[in-house]
Structure 1
Amino acid sequence: MTVFLVSFCNILFNFAIGLLVAKFLGPEEYGRFALAYATAIFVQTGFFDWIRLGATRFYSERIRYEEPALRATLDFGFAIIAAGLAAGACLLLFSGVRFTLSYGLIALALSVAVTNGLFDYHTALVRACFDDRLFARLALVKNGVAFALMGGGAFLFGSAKMTLIGTIISLGGSVVTARAALRDPASKPRLARLSIAGSLMAYSLPIVGANLLYLAIPLANRSILAILDGFSETGQFSLAYDFGTKTIQAIGSALDIVLFQIAVATHELHGPGQARQQIARNMTIVIAMVLPACTGLWLTLPSIETLVVPEAFRGHFDVLLPLMMTGLFCMGIIQYAINPIFQIEKKTAPLIAAALAACAADPLFLLFLHRDGGASSLAIAQAGAMLTALVVLIGFASSTWRHWPRPRDLAVAVFANALMGAIVLPMREHEPGLATLIEQIATGVAVYAFVVLGMDVAGLRGITLARLRLTFARMKTL
């Protein structure tokens, strides 16, 4: 539970920092920052994400002491790739080739890719060992420094470059301050094995390839906007997309961090049969949380725009985000509900096929949309691409997977979501503001929770009651 709360707060903090940066940079400079950061995430995913995924799936407290060669291989692999990336970046920057971003922003984006990869890798190791305290420490240091340096850089300098420098320092600094606790004494570079790296890549590369293809769609769309309509339009598109993505990630990632590790532990301790049942239960929980999150985001959008969206971004924001909502929901279900099916079975090749379908669908949708639609057309095409990927991926899973959420649980979740929407929808016409937002959230949560917990979807009632009993027991001991 601690990991869930820390992960949730970590993503919300990133979310708040993003809004702060957007406010101080303005649409045009934020467009540069967003494109550079999206490039960094793309590079990080391509070069370093296989290391994070390998740690998440195969590392554990037992492996830490019994098979130190795994950690040695991961550490050595990261160091070699980082050095190779630095050398390649130098050659690229001295080649004279021109890009949408300046050379300075490209260099900073690559530095963000390395430091963010380092941070994600070490948090994956910590989560795999269920070290809640160290995970909380890493997140706290990173967020505290990021708030001061990223927000401060944007406020004082109004510069995308200074904001990216703050990002690099916050990510790298959090790992450096915890370096003693993160070390494995038994892990030595000489223990690194090419065979282990090959096994990790065989598992991870299809996932990495799929994620790269998914990231390529919004990255290409942002680049198209920057070329055709300027960085200001890119900034408008980016804030809506980043806001929606981080909202879904705040729910999905926090759940996935806990639920997938439980499934992995179940697989190791009780075998694949029990693990498959756990994955089916996890899928139900993810759907039951992501669905009302998307609906609630749309219902509360007028108040959210009034309260937290910088004034320079209003008008575009409430148009673009609803157009992206279907795609955001589909992406959440793909990442946190369907992908674990293939990950637990170590058969991840279908993920590539689904991502390729999304990449093919995006330009096809654009062909049928109004050519003067600008960012709106790109948002619709992006949503259609994610829907296509979800349909394809479910098709692949259906051919072999036999453990699915109970239809009764899915029906209850859909009914609860519809009931919540029907009751909260009239409040959307109230004067936007904090009071309306609180009223909407309180009413929506109460209605949805009453139905879902009352019908005990995926055993959530038992989980909730157990957590409440534990909380009360701890309070009595204080």
Structure 2
Amino acid sequence: MSKQGKHSLIYLLGRGVPGLINFAALSIYTRLLSPEVYGRYALAYSSVTLLNTLLFQWIRMSLLRYLPKFRHEEDKRELYGSIAAGFFTAGFLSLILVLGTLWILPNEELRSLIYVALLLLWTEAFFEIALEILRSNLEVKQYAISFMIKSTFALLFGITLLHLGFEASGILLAIALSTILTTGLCLRHIGKLIFKNLRYFNRTFFLEFLQYGIPFTITFGMTFIFNSSDRYFINYFLGEKETGLYAVAYDLARQSLWVIMTAINLGSFPLAIRALENDGVNAANNQLSENLILLLKIAMPLAFGFMALNSEVVDLIIGEQFAEEAKKIIPYIVLGTLMVGFKNFYFDQGFQLGKRTYLQIYPVILAAVVNILLNLFIITWLGVFGAVISTLVSFFVALIASAILSRRVYKLPLPLLSSLKILISSMIMGLLLYLAKNSIASAHFRLLFLAPVGSLVYIGILRLFKINFFR
């Protein structure tokens, strides 16, 4: 197996096992929480994600881009010192923002939720920085183990705190505690590596990282808008219950596909960067072609299979009070996730490889504007389904804009014939699953039987097209 394949497989385990644990958590939480409480949790966690993106994302992106270039220990010390300074600066800014929010917020219940959210923000931000260092150094096993431990403890703490009477704040606190515990068990050496080198802070490195990373901050901030702003609009126009119903469906659909696509990207993109730095453009393009084909071969059939067996998956995982709404929404969110996944994990890489990351801003600004305008005008008309349409249209706009603009910066290879064969194979498999499922009475048996059968059908069609799935 190639290095790309080994790394992607380990990342797949490292993201896939936590993904299964998160499905278990979703199943449990939708049976223990009302839609209103889940909606409150979803909004709080979305806010943590937004602040994490705006304040800390530039650090992670700079690490991934620059750490492979620094081979001398003196340069690495200065890099880590600059990262430590960036973390403390971002942490201080987040504290100021939260104190300002607490000063104007009269609701005591929301104030306690914000305290927990701030703790979660700091712990998640450091955890993700530490993981980015592991990823840049190709320490894939340690990366995977850390993720699996964190997800396991988050579920255990979450169930315990919910039974103790905590609600939305209990889930946030569970994630924060699990992150702290995992950091202490697995990532202490990363913490020492970063913070002991604070005295080697290099102003030139720091400014270079800012210049490279800030466009990502703006980009991911805009991405957050067209990914998650719909929850805020739904909450404002329709209330917490509808927010919770929408968030559960969105989270199930998004996690199912996003975990896999993220795992593949985690294993493959660092190899493309190293190929470009060490061997030049041709080597990088060969690696990028392999990356895209691998992403297509796994994400496409998973998406079409999920859309075909949507009802069976929902009945297995989601609590009864959330299930009916989820079945209506999930196929569209799966399709949207597929589109934005290829934007993020392929076309956006042209901006990074070409070192013109500021251009990433334009596709997401366009998509964010489309999303906001559609949400404002159609949520009150179509309800939750209006948010689904807004999301789908904005994802499509972002994908097309990124594909067109990124090729002007770095001409990413596009193996069109192989991509078309994979798409056709996936669509045929999905159609056959959809037609066959009504012939089996038991919904659970349908899923148990048709999922492996669909996989075999897909692999067989690929073979007819002379594409080897197991390469």
Length-normalised TM-score, structure 2:
0.91
CA–CA distance in 2 between the matches of 1:101 and 1:226?
A: 17
Q: Is 1:45 matched with 2:58? A: no
Cα shift at 1:31: 0.6
Secondary structure of the structure 1 residue equivalent to 2:128: helix
Secondary structure of the structure 1 residue equivalent to 2:138: coil
CA–CA distance in 1 between the matches of 2:323 and 2:303?
A: 20
Q: How does 1:59-458 map to 2 (within 5 A)?
A: 59-60=67-68, 63=71, 65=73, 67=75, 68-94=77-103, 96-97=104-105, 102-157=110-165, 159-182=167-190, 183-184=192-193, 188-366=197-375, 369=378, 371-429=380-438, 430-452=440-462, 455=465, 457=467
1:236-274: CA deviations, max 9, x gaps?
Answer: 000111111111211111001001111122122212332
1:319-354: CA deviations, max 9, x gaps?
Answer: 121232332121111111211121122211221100
Cα shift at 1:87: 3.4
- Supply the AA of the counterpart residue of 1:34: A
C-alpha RMSD of matched pairs (Å): 2.4
CA–CA distance in 1 between the matches of 2:193 and 2:420?
A: 47
- Supply the AA of the counterpart residue of 1:72: G
**Range moving further from structure 2, 285-294 or 179-188:** 179-188
Q: How does 1:456-467 map to 2 (within 5 A)?
A: 457=467, 461=469, 464=470
Cα shift at 1:16: 2.7
- Supply the AA of the counterpart residue of 2:116: L
- Supply the AA of the counterpart residue of 1:286: L
Residue 11 (structure 2) aligns with: 3
CA–CA distance in 2 between the matches of 1:38 and 1:428?
A: 36
38 and 128 in structure 1: CA distance in 2 versus 1, 3 angstrom threshold: same
- Supply the AA of the counterpart residue of 1:42: L
- Supply the AA of the counterpart residue of 2:59: I
* Same amino acid, percent of matched pairs: 19
Tell whether the 8 Å contact from 2:84 to 2:194 is kept in structure 1 after alignment.
Answer: no
Residue 474 (structure 1) aligns with: none
Cα shift at 1:386: 0.8
Residue 472 (structure 1) aligns with: none
76 and 401 in structure 1: CA distance in 2 versus 1, 3 angstrom threshold: closer
Q: Is 1:55 matched with 2:63? A: yes
CA–CA distance in 1 between the matches of 2:446 and 2:85?
A: 53
Q: How many residues align?
A: 460
1:276-326: CA deviations, max 9, x gaps?
Answer: 332233123223322222111111111111111111101101012123233
Residue 470 (structure 1) aligns with: none
The counterpart of 2:37, out of the listed 29, 38, 42, is 29
Tell whether the 8 Å contact from 2:350 to 2:411 is kept in structure 1 after alignment.
Answer: no
Secondary structure of the structure 2 residue equivalent to 1:399: coil
Structure 1: 5+ residue stretches without partners: 466-478
Cα shift at 1:227: 2.3
Tell whether the 8 Å contact from 2:14 to 2:145 is kept in structure 1 after alignment.
Answer: no
CA–CA distance in 2 between the matches of 1:371 and 1:28?
A: 19
Cα shift at 1:432: 5.0
CA–CA distance in 2 between the matches of 1:186 and 1:36?
A: 29
Tell whether the 8 Å contact from 1:31 to 1:236 is kept in structure 2 after alignment.
Answer: yes
185 and 34 in structure 1: CA distance in 2 versus 1, 3 angstrom threshold: closer
186 and 356 in structure 1: CA distance in 2 versus 1, 3 angstrom threshold: closer
- Supply the AA of the counterpart residue of 2:259: A
Cα shift at 1:206: 1.8
Cα shift at 1:19: 3.2
Tell whether the 8 Å contact from 2:265 to 2:345 is kept in structure 1 after alignment.
Answer: yes
Tell whether the 8 Å contact from 1:15 to 1:243 is kept in structure 2 after alignment.
Answer: yes
- Supply the AA of the counterpart residue of 2:287: Q
Structure 2: 5+ residue stretches without partners: 1-5
Tell whether the 8 Å contact from 1:24 to 1:158 is kept in structure 2 after alignment.
Answer: no
**Range moving further from structure 2, 338-347 or 128-137:** 128-137
CA–CA distance in 2 between the matches of 1:12 and 1:345?
A: 36
